[in-house]
Amino acid sequence: MKRVALVTGGSRGIGLGIAQALLKDGFEVAICGVRPTCDIKEFFYYQCDVSDAGARAKMLAALRQRFGRLDVLVNNAGIAPKVRADILDATEESFAELIRTNLQGPYFLTQAVAKWMIAQKSGCIINVSSISASVASVNRGDYCISKAGVAMATQLWAARLGEFNIPVYEVRPGVIKTDMTSVVTEKYDKLLAGGLALQARWGLPEDVGRAVASLARGDFLYSTGQVVLVDGGLTVQRL
């Protein structure tokens, strides 16, 4: 029987790179997104806004009916602020929206899936965060705080699920070329050329996909709670 993976936000960008890597590794892959339909036929697609508790419950019910099991949850869905505003000017509305989508939704989706995996007696959870969990960007503080919360959530769930032998990991991408970063292409082209990262190129969704697939395969079974950086060495401290 094939193992089953759910990748939230899996129809584009980093999520699609992850879904494709898992498919290549032989997983049955389900993806979700906010669009009504998805034309990628290799995956089972379910429309779900992860910030909506009712939508999350309906999605898991649909997965139970179709697959009967869930072996890997990849919490990848997330949003950037609509406006990159200095934290002196940023709004509570933007803050609340990002926390609800990037942190609260995945946190409680993990809660529901964890109970399923405990009953199933197997499973693995992988949170996709960002180097913004630890690198400050004062023009998108809401995003940084949401990702820092994901980092702590990873540790919390790893601590809680350790007794059930359900590993929980965090994958922390750097500057990845996606539609989300397309608005800052020129900025990061210059920064990368100027030595921002040790490896002077954009990261690609497939770079993140390979890292997630290795965790999902079970290559790091004795490393629960750990962070895998996929950032080309951007966060290496240098003098």
Active site residues: 143
Distances (CA, A) of 149 to 56, 122, 132, 190: 20, 25, 11, 30
Q: b/e string for 118-132 if b means 16 or more Cβ within 10 A? A: eeeeebbbbbbbbbb
List the strands of the sheet with 124-128, edge to edge: 44-47, 28-33, 4-8, 72-75, 124-128, 168-173, 227-230
